[in-house]
Structure 1
Amino acid sequence: MTVNTRGITRLTALLGLGAFALTACGSGGDSAEQGSGESAETEAAETTEEESSQSESGDAAASGSLTIWADANRAEVLNEVASDFESDTGIAVEIVQQDFEEIRDQFVSQVPTGEGPDIAVGAHDWLGVLVNNGVVAPVELGDAAGDFEEIAVDAWTYEGQTYGLPYSIENIALLRNTELAPEAPADFDEMIQMGEEAGTEYPFLVGLDPNESDPYHLYPFQTSFGAPVFGTAEDGSYDSSQLAMADAGGEEFAGWLAEQGEAGVLNLNIDGDLAQESFNDGNSPFFLTGPWNVDGAREAGIDVAVDPIPAAGDQDAQPFAGVQGFFLSAQSENVVAASNFLINYVGTAEVQTALYETGGRTPALTESFEQALSEDEIVAGFGEVGAEAVPMPAIPEMGAVWDDWGSSQAAIIKGDGDPVELWQKMSEDISSAID
């Protein structure tokens, strides 16, 4: 793979400052409060001068090494990038393959001991845990931030700092069997009507769980009632002191859940696997799901289209967006090289497109994003929905939400009590857990 770097000279100006800031961050404190501004500027200038000199001589920071944790899919692409990087800089890069589901916890436990990697792949909603444990450092994207989709950078921004180089955006959308439903529905009621007129077993499918429902998949309908999980602060970040779904919009959504449960439209006995199987068998024209189920539908001979999620309330239905990326260890001893690797190599269109082709997730880099959308209408469909999605909350308080949220939704759908009272009880329990 040939990597077209974006100008080491531009990067070194911001990395010189980043090297100091990241060192300060390693102690878990606020880098803006550590050391004098004068000494920081002096060190930044010295680092910038040194790196620029090395860059011009073709020997950019040719010392040390980098260790990167990645799952199997990402490791394949990164091995090629690492080879180019080592050839260009003289810095060896070791790619250590890890189970994606274990990376976050292993990172939190190993970084403080000095045994963790310099860089790891992960999801943006890990940030609250990573930042609070002091194991992750900001990534100084500088001007490169403007090269990425806005939602991707927003997702990796926590308390005013950007902590990752994003590479993919993932979200759900409405998958439609075009033979059974030639046109996209305008809203939820029209979708159900179209599904009933199609004469299939199910007018609409979404995978749920009998005990935990699935707040993630049902969230777009909840937002259409004006009931986001949390409110937002002035800077747009989530504010855990505002449990916004406890307001009237959430109660209205609870009533809607009860109605759909009673009508059989939301069926807790249909899990994700059964929903996928039923859609692929032609038993419903509509399936609320993610890009991970597209190939199966195509292999089953379904002509599929991807549509915006129809609103059940009077506002737009906005799903969660999950943004994957690469983050830096607060204990890395080679921050400048690690940042160089991320911004000038992983952050290029060649690599972002390669990661997309391997994993099938919409690229985060705008150039690759637009290319993917122009070449594949399925990617375009998910990408258009994702551009209007909202980042999954990365704040640690989100961990106190899921259990009560899911179990309460399930109880409401089953008709186990008054929906508003059940929702109010859920809100009280979540608020107590957060406090």
Structure 2
Amino acid sequence: MRRSIPAFAAALGLALTLTACGSSGDDGAKETTEPTADSATTEAALTGTLTMWVDETRIDVMKPIVEKFQSETGVKVDMVQKVSGDIRTDFVSQVPTGQGPDVIIGAHDWTGEFVNNGVVAPLQLGDKASEFSPSAVQAFTYDGQVYGAPYAIENIALVRNNELVPETKATTFDELVAEGKAAGTKYSVLIQQGDQGDAYHLYPLQTSFDAPIFTQTEDGSYTTDLGLGGENGEKFATYLQKLGSEKVLDPALGGDQVKEAFLNGEAPYIVTGPWYTTEFANAGLDISVLPVPSAGGSEAKPFVGVQGAFISAKSANPVLANEFVVNYLTTEPVQTELYELGGRLPALKTAAAKVDDPILAGFNEAGATGAPMPSIPEMGAMWQFWGTTQVQIIGGQATDPVGAWNTMVTNMQDAIDAA
């Protein structure tokens, strides 16, 4: 994570509004009608106190942003640090009682739980939505409405050791494996697995077979309809068996093992995220970041994780909350500042385009059309079925990959039906 903002006036002209949101507080922003950009910039609307919850993993990034917002608007922001393991559940339990914050900073995959519990208000990004990476807006979209303002994204990609392979000509994953083998190293392409499997790191390959975990509507919302069954999923399962038999994938190689192997020059390629590339760069490796090539013929789309801000459905100051979340946090200077503070790629396209770090720029290209991690509650039950089946296919315990895959899909559907 890493670390300049011009006058706040530039942010105030954005025509962004928050849809109807309850108000129960005493100080400032007592309007009961839907706020507009004009009303949000009046002196009355910018009077009062805003309470914001942030966990320990994000608070250092948000502090300077909040301090500037306070100094430029006169709004007092009471920023409360919450434990990362508790912040999500505390928000769900305390908002209905009126004890929760106006704003909470968190990850997009909290959206489904928040919406189902009625604790967050929908946002209206309007034309501003097109200025973000499509996956960033989709990530906070639930049942056709946007519930969070994105500020940063992260995803996995293909990382190359330029000393071992100075140029990548492969356009398919099989060609990439061949290039990797030609380098004469112990491994060709490293993708972490472990004894529980790792569906997250295999997802770009799976989506290239047009077999997503869940189907999506036109606006990007996830349905509860599984998309990984049928012929496309079966083809992917068969391909996993092939990669396992060729030892491209190995259940013995978990996250620590693939990281160390790449650091030791034992493979020219690894599929991983920015959490490891920092270590690679600090170790003196000359690396490049590229999109994962397709294995199944369609685009390989990694999961995309998005950081953002939600507004409480019971906010005491919805106009102030809207001013910070929708009108301030979404501006290019602020998104750039958040990138400099935290090291995550900005969700706003203009800010992302100005990132001069070639490593992060590579991740941006690889994840530009990626698939947001599903935020629907049903997702939680999928991982165990998914990872276990994949690793059994890879390791050879499941000798019939199609049969094992179809059993997995049936078990997933049963879990969804029982939810």
User: TM-score, length-normalised on structure 2?
Assistant: 0.90
> Partners in 2 of 1:318 and 1:5 — Cα distance?
36
Q: Which residue of 1 is the match for residue 228 of structure 2?
A: 245
Q: Which residue of 2 is the match for residue 392 of structure 1?
A: 373
> Partners in 2 of 1:245 and 1:378 — Cα distance?
31
> Partners in 1 of 2:252 and 2:48 — Cα distance?
55
Q: Which residue of 2 is the match for residue 132 of structure 1?
A: 116
Gap change, CA 1:48 and 1:428, over 3 Å in 2: closer
Q: Which residue of 1 is the match for residue 190 of structure 2?
A: 205
Gap change, CA 1:217 and 1:186, over 3 Å in 2: same
Q: Which residue of 2 is the match for residue 4 of structure 1?
A: 7
> Partners in 2 of 1:117 and 1:49 — Cα distance?
22
Q: Which residue of 2 is the match for residue 191 of structure 1?
A: 176
Q: Is 2:405 the counterpart of 1:406?
A: no
Cα pair 1:202 1:283 within 8 Å, conserved:
yes
Of the structure 1 ranges 189-198 and 142-151, higher mean CA displacement relative to structure 2 is found in 142-151
Once the two structures are superposed, residues 269-312 of structure 1 have per-residue CA deviations (whole angstroms, 9 ceiling, x without a partner) of 11111111110111100010001111111122211001110222
- SS of alignment partner, residue 205 of structure 1: strand
Gap change, CA 1:381 and 1:350, over 3 Å in 2: same
Which one of 336, 341, 362 corresponds to residue 381 of structure 1?
362
Note the 1:46-61 alignment, pairs <5 A: 51=39, 55=42, 59-61=43-45
Equivalent position amino acid for 2:255 in 1: G
Cα pair 2:11 2:328 within 8 Å, conserved:
no
Note the 1:270-419 alignment, pairs <5 A: 270-372=253-355, 375-417=356-398, 418-419=400-401
> Partners in 2 of 1:50 and 1:163 — Cα distance?
22
Cα pair 1:112 1:331 within 8 Å, conserved:
yes
Equivalent position amino acid for 2:388 in 1: S
Q: Which residue of 2 is the match for residue 232 of structure 1?
A: 216
Cα pair 1:139 1:162 within 8 Å, conserved:
yes
Q: Which residue of 2 is the match for residue 113 of structure 1?
A: 97
Of the structure 1 ranges 344-353 and 169-178, higher mean CA displacement relative to structure 2 is found in 344-353
Q: Which residue of 1 is the match for residue 27 of structure 2?
A: none
- SS of alignment partner, residue 199 of structure 1: coil
Gap change, CA 1:255 and 1:83, over 3 Å in 2: same
Gap change, CA 1:100 and 1:198, over 3 Å in 2: same
Q: How far apart are 1:73 and its partner, in Å?
A: 5.2
Cα pair 2:16 2:37 within 8 Å, conserved:
no
- Runs of 5+ unmatched residues, structure 2: 25-30
Cα pair 1:281 1:300 within 8 Å, conserved:
no
Of the structure 1 ranges 282-291 and 413-422, higher mean CA displacement relative to structure 2 is found in 413-422
Cα pair 2:12 2:37 within 8 Å, conserved:
no
Q: How far apart are 1:85 and its partner, in Å?
A: 2.6
> Partners in 1 of 2:9 and 2:377 — Cα distance?
35
Q: Is 2:65 the counterpart of 1:65?
A: no
Q: Is 2:415 the counterpart of 1:427?
A: no
> Partners in 2 of 1:332 and 1:377 — Cα distance?
40
More helix by share: 1
Q: Which residue of 1 is the match for residue 59 of structure 2?
A: 75
Once the two structures are superposed, residues 90-127 of structure 1 have per-residue CA deviations (whole angstroms, 9 ceiling, x without a partner) of 32101222344443222212222222221111111211
Equivalent position amino acid for 2:373 in 1: M
> Partners in 2 of 1:63 and 1:86 — Cα distance?
11
Q: Which residue of 2 is the match for residue 22 of structure 1?
A: 21
> Partners in 2 of 1:139 and 1:303 — Cα distance?
42
- SS of alignment partner, residue 22 of structure 1: coil
Q: How far apart are 1:347 and its partner, in Å?
A: 1.9
> Partners in 2 of 1:370 and 1:319 — Cα distance?
20
Cα pair 1:208 1:267 within 8 Å, conserved:
yes
> Partners in 1 of 2:330 and 2:139 — Cα distance?
16
Equivalent position amino acid for 2:177 in 1: I
> Partners in 2 of 1:195 and 1:48 — Cα distance?
56
Of the structure 1 ranges 363-372 and 148-157, higher mean CA displacement relative to structure 2 is found in 148-157
Equivalent position amino acid for 1:429 in 2: N
Q: How far apart are 1:8 and its partner, in Å?
A: 7.0
| Equivalenced residues, count | 406
- Runs of 5+ unmatched residues, structure 1: 27-41
Q: Is 2:207 the counterpart of 1:223?
A: yes
**Bigger relative contact order, structure 1 or 2 (CA pairs below 8 A, ≥6 apart):** 2
> Partners in 2 of 1:82 and 1:235 — Cα distance?
31
Cα pair 2:190 2:271 within 8 Å, conserved:
yes
Q: Which residue of 1 is the match for residue 125 of structure 2?
A: 141
Gap change, CA 1:195 and 1:146, over 3 Å in 2: closer
